[in-house]
Amino acid sequence: MINFNYETDFKLSSEEDISKWILETITLENHSLEEVNYVFCDDEYLHKLNVEFLNHDTLTDVISFDYSVGKQVSGDIFISIERVVDNAKDFNVSFDVELKRVIIHGILHYCGYKDKTNDDAILMRDKEDKYLALYNQKFN
């Protein structure tokens, strides 16, 4: 089950398509879906979580709490819409592209991908690009 929750005025326009895309990504990565909860929020909300749970006094675009067991994907993914807007400008991409990248980034972490080293970050970006292309192929 994939749930979308909103702690800000933002609302996804295509929850059903995004849910199908997330599920297909999980399946293609040889995992299965247990439950994933997305929470769309603002900088203040996510900053508070970052300080309280991760001891990071910085702004970030996404925080994932992974409850997966084996290949059963489960967790909570918090996304700051304000950070996504700013990052889209910084990376010169549309808000929609950057939002989908962040949405799938958390799922890829749950499927075992890391991004702390340069090599890991390159692989993560390649996977993000692959699944963004899949979304565009199926739903655009």
Q: Which residues are annotated as a binding site?
A: 105, 109, 115
Please say whether the dihedral angle defined by the alpha carbons of residues 91, 93, 94 and 99, taken in this order, is positive or negative: negative
- How far, CA to CA in Å, does 27 sit from each of 5, 18, 66? 23, 14, 17
CA 134, CA 138: separation in Å to the nearest integer?
6
Annotated binding site for Zn(2+): 105, 109, 115
CA 22, CA 16: separation in Å to the nearest integer?
10
